[in-house]
Chains A and B, each alone.
Chain A
C-alpha cells in the first residue's frame, strides 16, 4: 500500500487523465464546452491535490515545496486554480482542454520523481523548521502561482500554434473547429501572461521582506524570469505583437521559469 500522499497523488493524477479523456472525447464529437464529467473529474483531481499538499504541509510544518516533485504538484494545483479563477474571466472554456493534460503531465513527472526518493527509515527526514517565516511562505506560494499562469499561457500558445498552422494550410482538419477560436485563445494567453507577471512581481518583492534573503542565484533566476516576461509584455504593449508571434514566444519562454525552478530546487 503506498503512502497516503502518494496514493492521493495517484488518484488525483488519474482524475486529471479522466478529465483529459472527457475533454478529448467532447472535442472529437462537438465544439468544446466544459461538460459535467469533465468538471467533476477536475474537481476530484483538485481535491486530491489539496489532500497531497495538506499531508505534506502537515508533515513539513510549512508550504510543501521542498522537493522537485512537491514543486510540480504545487504548480499543478496553481494551474487548476487558474482554471477555476482565470478561465471564466476570459471566457475561455478552452482552459479545460489545456489544463487537464498539462496537469496530468506535471503530476506523472511528480510521481516519477517521488518514486526515486529512497524510503524513509525511522522519523521523517523532513521536519518542521524551528520558526516559520510567513514572508518565505508567501513568496514561494505567489511565485509558484505565477509559474502556473505562465505554464497555462505556454500551453495555450501551443494550442494556438497548432490551430494557426492548420488554418494557414487551407485544408484545416475538422478537429480544430471544435477547439476554442483563435481570438479567444489569444486574449486568454495575454491575460495569463499579465496575471503571471503581476503575481511574480509580488512574489519577488516579498522575498525582500524575508528574514533571510534567498541566495543570489535564486534571486537572480527569479529576476531573469521577471525581466524576460516584462520584455515580452512591454514589447506587446508598445507594438502589439501578432497573436501568432506572441503564442510562439509564450510557449518558448516558459523554458526559462522551468530552468529557474530547477535552479531554485537545487540550491
Chain B
C-alpha cells in the first residue's frame, strides 16, 4: 500500500513554523481523525513533539493529507517547507526517527517513547490498520535493535550528562544521594537538575548572596545554607557542584580531610565547573574522593558525541536491511515522487524533497 510521511523538525523549520504546526495533546485525536477522513487516506499516525511534527499516512492517495494541513494550520507558502517521504523512504525515515538518528542529540532515547505514545493514541482513535500497525511495530523493533547492537546511545553528550554518568558509576543509584551546590550559577543548576532527574533527592545550596541560594533551593526543592556554613555540610553530601566566581580555591584539602574523618568511608564526588577553578586539585588525591573539572566533563561529552557520529553508518546499515524487509512484507513501493498534492507549488516542492531525501544525508541528526 502506498505510504507517505511529511512533517518538519528542528533542522528544517524555524521554531515559529514548528509552533504553527504543533498540535496540542488534546487536539491530536481530532486532527488524526480529520486526516484519516481525507480522500485516499486510510491510516494515519501523527507525532507532535517540541522538535518535530510528522504525519505518517497510508492509503491509495496518502499525500492528500497535505491540503488538509495547509488549510487547518494556514501554512500557505510554508507548506513547501514540509519534507515528504514516499514509499520505502517513509519507512526509512520512521526507522531513523525511532533510532534517534534524526534527533537534535544524536541517539537520544526520548523520541522512542514519544513515537510509541503517538502510535498508541492513533490506535485508540482507530486511525491505524494493517499497514501502519505493522510499520510502527516493526519500527519499534528496529529502534531497539539499533540501540542494542550499536553504540549510538552510549555515553553522555553534555556536561550535566557526564556528571550524572560519573555519579552513577560511583554511587550506583542516586536515590540516596545528597547534592550540594556551591555558587548558584546556571551551570550548577543544570548539572544538579540532571542529577535530580536521575533520582538524587536532596539538594543543599550555598551562595555568597544568601537570597539567591534560597531562591535556587526553593526552585529545586532543596534547602539553602549560609555560605560560611557549607563546610559543615560536606560530611553528609555525596556530590558537590562548585561554580563560584571566587578567584581562589574555595574547597581545599583541609576541608576535604576534615570531612572525610566524619564520612565513614563514603565516597565523595567533587565537580568543579568554575573558571578559575574552585577546588584545589590536591583534593582529588584523597582516597574515595573523585574530582572532575569542566575540562574533564566536556572532554567526556565530546568523546561521546564523536563516538555516536562514528556509529551512524552502522545504524544506517541495519536500517537499510529492515527497510527492505518491511517493504517486502507490506508491498510498499520504492520511494518515488508523490503525485499531485493540493497545489502545483506543493507538487513541485514534493518532487525536490522526495528526490533529495537520501537516507544518510537528507535528515540531519
Residues in chain A within 8 A of chain B (CB atoms): 29-30, 163, 167-168, 170-172, 174, 176-177, 180-184, 186, 240-246
Among B148, B154, B267, B284, residue most surrounded by chain A Cβ atoms (within 10 Å): B267
- Interchain CB contact under 8 A, B264 and A168: no
Minimum C-beta distance from A53 to chain B (A): 36
- In the bound complex, CA of A172 to CA of B172 (Å): 16
- Interchain CB contact under 8 A, A176 and B292: no
* Partner pick for B154 among A174, A180, A242, CB 8 A cutoff: A174
- Interchain CB contact under 8 A, B296 and A167: no
- Interchain CB contact under 8 A, B155 and A243: no
Q: Which residues of A contact B293 (CB under 8 A)?
A: 170
Query: Taking the complex as formed, is B169 at the interface, i.e. its CB lies under 8 A from any CB of chain A?
Result: yes
**0/1 string, B140-183, CB within 8 A of A gives 1:** 00000000110100110000000001101111100000000000
* Partner pick for B171 among A177, A183, A242, CB 8 A cutoff: A183
- Interchain CB contact under 8 A, A241 and B265: yes
- Interchain CB contact under 8 A, B166 and A167: yes
- The 27 sampled A-B contact pairs (Cβ below 8 Å) are A29-B151, A30-B148, A163-B169, A167-B169, A168-B290, A170-B291, A170-B292, A172-B300, A174-B154, A174-B155, A174-B307, A177-B155, A181-B168, A181-B169, A181-B172, A182-B169, A182-B171, A182-B267, A183-B170, A183-B171, A240-B265, A242-B260, A242-B287, A243-B288, A244-B287, A244-B288, A245-B287
Minimum C-beta distance from B310 to chain A (A): 12
Q: Which residues of B contact A174 (CB under 8 A)?
A: 154-155, 303, 307
- With an 8 Å Cβ cutoff, the count of chain B residues facing the other chain is 29
Given A182-B267, A183-B170; A171-B287 close (CB under 8 Å): no
Given A30-B148, A244-B288; A183-B267 close (CB under 8 Å): yes
- Interchain CB contact under 8 A, A168 and B299: no
Q: Which residues of A contact B287 (CB under 8 A)?
A: 242-245
Q: Which residues of B contact A163 (CB under 8 A)?
A: 169
Q: Which residues of A contact B288 (CB under 8 A)?
A: 242-244
- In the bound complex, CA of A29 to CA of B286 (Å): 32
| Chain A residues touching B, majority SS | helix
Q: How many A-B residue pairs have CB under 8 A?
A: 62
* Partner pick for A182 among B148, B151, B170, CB 8 A cutoff: B170
Minimum C-beta distance from B359 to chain A (A): 24
Instruction: Please give me the residue from chain B that is nearest to A241 by CB atom.
Output: B265
- In the bound complex, CA of A149 to CA of B304 (Å): 38
Minimum C-beta distance from A135 to chain B (A): 38
Minimum C-beta distance from B302 to chain A (A): 12
* Partner pick for B169 among A29, A176, A242, A243, CB 8 A cutoff: A176
Additional pairs, 18, CB under 8 Å, beyond known A171-B296, A183-B171? A29-B149, A30-B148, A163-B169, A171-B299, A171-B300, A172-B169, A174-B155, A177-B155, A177-B165, A180-B172, A181-B168, A181-B169, A181-B172, A182-B170, A182-B267, A241-B265, A242-B287, A243-B287
Instruction: Please give me the residue from chain A that is nearest to B264 by CB atom.
Output: A240
Q: Which residues of B contact A183 (CB under 8 A)?
A: 170-172, 267
- Interchain CB contact under 8 A, B165 and A168: no
- In the bound complex, CA of A241 to CA of B264 (Å): 7
Minimum C-beta distance from A61 to chain B (A): 47
Minimum C-beta distance from B185 to chain A (A): 22
Minimum C-beta distance from B170 to chain A (A): 5
- In the bound complex, CA of A172 to CA of B297 (Å): 11
Minimum C-beta distance from B238 to chain A (A): 9
Minimum C-beta distance from A52 to chain B (A): 36
- Interchain CB contact under 8 A, A243 and B267: yes
Q: Which residues of A contact B171 (CB under 8 A)?
A: 181-183
Instruction: Please give me the residue from chain A that is nearest to B262 by CB atom.
Output: A240
- In the bound complex, CA of A242 to CA of B307 (Å): 34
- Interchain CB contact under 8 A, B172 and A168: no
Q: Which residues of B contact A246 (CB under 8 A)?
A: 265
- In the bound complex, CA of A182 to CA of B149 (Å): 26
* Partner pick for B290 among A167, A177, A184, A241, CB 8 A cutoff: A167
Among B165, B260, B284, B290, residue most surrounded by chain A Cβ atoms (within 10 Å): B290
Q: Which residues of B contact A245 (CB under 8 A)?
A: 287
Q: Which residues of B contact A244 (CB under 8 A)?
A: 287-288
Instruction: Please give me the residue from chain B that is nearest to A187 by CB atom.
Output: B172
- Interchain CB contact under 8 A, A170 and B265: no
- Interchain CB contact under 8 A, A168 and B284: yes
Q: Which residues of A contact B284 (CB under 8 A)?
A: 168, 170
